[in-house]
Structure 1
Amino acid sequence: MKADYSQSENKKLDGEKYFQVCAEVLNSPMVMKEIGELKQTNDFRVSVANPDSGKNIFNVCSFF
């Protein structure tokens, strides 16, 4: 990812695409099933955010 990003002509767009793909994987049924099996507290959260823009792309709060 780092090599692709450093060679990108549009880092902002490519970064957004990368985080969007991460969010899609986290939201897949297989991953969501595994997350649901974790021992969780009331403030449990899984999220994907772009550190450059602060944009929150994906957020799952506690499964309680």
Structure 2
Amino acid sequence: MTEPTRYQTAPVELPLRLDLREPTPVDGCPGCVELVKVRERARAGGDMTTVTDCNVYMRRHPEGHG
């Protein structure tokens, strides 16, 4: 039987980044408005995965705003 692999370095701990604010919609942008609506419905239903997805989409908005 072989010895198990032992690692000499400590595990990497990534930050939770809980201090980030949610992106806000740009006035007059229909894409931003729709993402906010989806995000609000998802949050009301407890679907935090969709809330996070909407935040990512708003941050990576095609027009570069949000």
**Greater gyration radius:** 2
Under a length normalisation based on structure 2, what TM-score does the superposition of the two structures give? 0.35
Under a length normalisation based on structure 1, what TM-score does the superposition of the two structures give? 0.36
**Which structure features the higher share of helix residues?**
1
**Which structure features the higher share of strand residues?**
1
